[in-house]
Each structure stands twice: as structure tokens, then as C-alpha cells.
Structure 1
């Protein structure tokens, strides 16, 4: 085990398992990164015992330069960086408000978008951070491609329009934030709204945005609750899964 950035590597590994536990990263696809400085980042890589995001360990998180080369001796011995590393580096380079990037393939978000269902602020107090996120707009990158080069990554960043979450059509999502926890929790909220939207429409209902009056009544419960408590819950969920095995 590499002895630098141990806490950050463990956090990213936990975050990968949270995504898988929530059904946002089934199988071996998806990755999370964290900016270390202007030249390097920690990112989930594929190693010699690759088993998927749900089984990510801290050693799967490697320190690499933005150009994909190892940032310290031995970092890529037996590991390969994601094909879509440009997706991460483009967002990190373009935005000072971004330190963490989540890329996942949530089936419900992909299905909702392909069905023409936009992510809208429909739920109110059911998920206050998610409602506010949806109210600000969840843009869509309309190309179902692997974001594997700088040109495509630049297109993706432009399509984000400075927003925290982007749907990638026929592909997945990109979620960005100052912290790993926030980037993951945003992705969970968008997935939840996508699932509820499809359930409502399947039941013969219609989607209605929360009224301005009700939106104005929603309190800001603060980062301690919205992020801190919510993240402890996510960690308890994956701890429960590990204990059951």
C-alpha cells in the first residue's frame, strides 16, 4: 500500500463503493477523482485484480499527472488510468469550484433521459438539496460517446454550463463539487429524482415542478446535515453490506 494521501485514497475508495451500493455504478464502469494540485490528481484506476467499483480498495486509487502519467514512482505499476481521464482533467482545469469529479453510469438516469424525461424539481422536502439542484437545471451532453480525448472533454465541460451535474446521453453522468462526498451525494439525488419521475409517469401521473411559494419555504439545513450526516448514512450502508458478507 502506498503511504501518501492515505486518507484521500480511502475516501475515494469508499465513494466508489457508495456509488455501487446505490446502483449508480453497476459492474466495472465509472471512476472518481480528486484534485491534489494543479498538475496531479488521485483517480480510481483498474488494477490486476479488477472486480468493479463495488469492490474498490484504497490501493486502486492512484496518483497521476493530468496527462495520465504517474506522479510518483510505482503509482501505475500494474494499474491503468481510465480511458476517460480527460473527462476529469477538463473539468478540474476549467473550474475553480471543482476539486472532485464523479463519473458513473446510472441506468435510471440514462433511461429517463432517453425517454425524454428531464430532471426537474418535483419532490420538494423529500430531498431538499436534490430539489434545489434540479431547480438550477441539469443540462445534457447529447453525444453518447466515450469522453476519451481533450476535444470531447471540452465539449462536455461547455455543455455543463457551470452546473454541478451533467447527464451524458446514452452514457451516464458527470457530477462535480469541491468535495468527493458532495459530488457523490449530488449524483444520488439526481438518480433518485430520475427514478421517481419514471415511476410517476408509469403510474399514469404527470410531473409538476414545485411551486415558487413552496420552493421559497424550503430551508437550508446546512452542510453538517446535507453532507456530513448524509455521508455518515452512506458509509453505514456500505458497512452494513460488508458485515453481511
Structure 2
């Protein structure tokens, strides 16, 4: 889509495609948003040729107000806002550190949680940002509902607290961050740890947290590597036509 916020729309569209190609948003469920100001956001909407997140285009990203109405001429002509828009607007309204919200339905995270497996720092240098995220804790919202109204969104926010990622029981995940890229990469890390946990347990192993000594040895590789380089890799994957196995 050309016009206002073209770069931001393209970014969100690519984020949706990354989630799908990484197996976190199979089918048509899930959405990504970015705050524009205190009254409006860009969010992935369902359009007249809906094909799922893996085929999201920039024109599927629409500028709307927090109340769900169009924030510009034609923004919702043929497009519909997500039923779970309150999930996005509540998070963006509640915390100044949040500018982007990712909501996806990763089957491995759902399965691990339903099996009673929490997200733990079981890896180390394998994924340093993910290890630190897991060590800080990944809370769970214990209701398998669509977060489609303000009351449910408030419950979800209480469960999220000050954390960057929340598991939604029997549903999916909410990841929040200052940028779209970071919110997506956080979701990928949590999904990877959930998948490893399931694999380890199914192989007859046990889960052990990384030792404090090893945690202290993990370096901070910096935002340029953890986010910028990692995001370039994700872009190369989707634009190169490579689809990772789920």
C-alpha cells in the first residue's frame, strides 16, 4: 500500500509473514500492531482476499483509532479489525514502553503450557536473549478465551504485568516491545524454548535451568546483533522463499 506510513505497513506485513513462516501463526489467526500516537495504531486486518498471515501484504495493514474506527479515508473499506483489538489497545494504553504488540497462536507453546511445562531458561548460548527472557519469567493468562472486550483485556494485562511475553492458555501468546522486530523475535525465542522442552521430555529427558554461573557468563551481544542482524536474517528467510519446518 502506498501513501501514509508505507514503511510501517510493510514492516508489519513482513512481521506477519515471519510469524507464519516460523510456524507461530498457521492459517488466518493472529495479528500485529504498532502504535502511531495516543489515539491511533496500525494493525493487521482481514481484507477481501484474506489468505492468512503468511500471505499478508502492506495493504492489509490499516490505520485505525483505538476505538476500532477508521483513522483515515478508506482505511476500513473492505477490511475488518481483529475481534481481539482490545488485546492490542489495552497493552498500548497501559504501558509507555510498549509500541508494538504481537498476538499469535504457536501450537508448541500452547501444547507445552497445557502439559504443565513452563518456559524456563533451559538453554544458554543457544539463544542468549531468549534465555534471559525465560529466566525473568513468562507468565500465563489462565483463560482460553478471545480477548475481545475491555474486561478480558484488563485481566490479560494483570497477568502480563511488566513482562514482555505472556502465554495465553489454550490460545496462544502475546508479545509486547518497543519495536515490531523485537516483539516478533521474543515470540520466536519463547516458541523455540517450548519446542525444545517438548522434545527433551518426549525423549525421556528432564528439564534443568541454566546454572547461575553459566548465566553470568552470557555476554550482551547488543541490539545491533540481537535485533538488527536477527531481523535481517528473518527477512532473508521470507524473501528468499525458504519456509522453516514447524
TM-score by length of 1: 0.98
Please say if 1:27 is aligned against 2:27.
Answer: yes
In structure 2, C-alpha distance between the alignment counterparts of 1:85 and 1:174, rounded to whole Å: 12
Q: What's 2:157 paired with?
A: 157
Q: Within 5 A, what are the aligned runs for 1:186-197?
A: 186-197=186-197
> Superposition RMSD on alpha carbons, in Å?
0.9
Q: What's 1:135 paired with?
A: 135
CA, structure 1 residues 136+5, in 2 after alignment: closer, same or farther (shift >3 Å)?
same
In structure 2, C-alpha distance between the alignment counterparts of 1:157 and 1:56, rounded to whole Å: 27
In structure 2, C-alpha distance between the alignment counterparts of 1:19 and 1:150, rounded to whole Å: 26
In structure 1, C-alpha distance between the alignment counterparts of 2:221 and 2:158, rounded to whole Å: 31
Q: What's 1:225 paired with?
A: 225
Q: What's 2:49 paired with?
A: 49
Q: What's 1:104 paired with?
A: 104
Q: What is the CA distance between 1:161 and its match in structure 2? A: 1.6
In structure 1, C-alpha distance between the alignment counterparts of 2:173 and 2:2, rounded to whole Å: 30
Q: What's 1:148 paired with?
A: 148
Number of residue pairs aligned between Structure 1 and Structure 2: 243
Q: What is the CA distance between 1:242 and its match in structure 2? A: 7.2
Q: What is the CA distance between 1:77 and its match in structure 2? A: 0.2
Q: What is the CA distance between 1:10 and its match in structure 2? A: 0.2
Q: What is the CA distance between 1:241 and its match in structure 2? A: 1.2
Q: Secondary structure at the match of 2:125?
A: helix
Q: Secondary structure at the match of 2:214?
A: helix
TM-score by length of 2: 0.98
In structure 2, C-alpha distance between the alignment counterparts of 1:123 and 1:189, rounded to whole Å: 11
In structure 1, C-alpha distance between the alignment counterparts of 2:224 and 2:158, rounded to whole Å: 31
Q: Secondary structure at the match of 1:167?
A: strand
CA, structure 1 residues 103+65, in 2 after alignment: closer, same or farther (shift >3 Å)?
same
Q: Within 5 A, what are the aligned runs for 1:150-189?
A: 150-189=150-189
In structure 1, C-alpha distance between the alignment counterparts of 2:150 and 2:162, rounded to whole Å: 18
Deviations 1:110-139 (A, max 9, x none): 000000000000000000000000000000
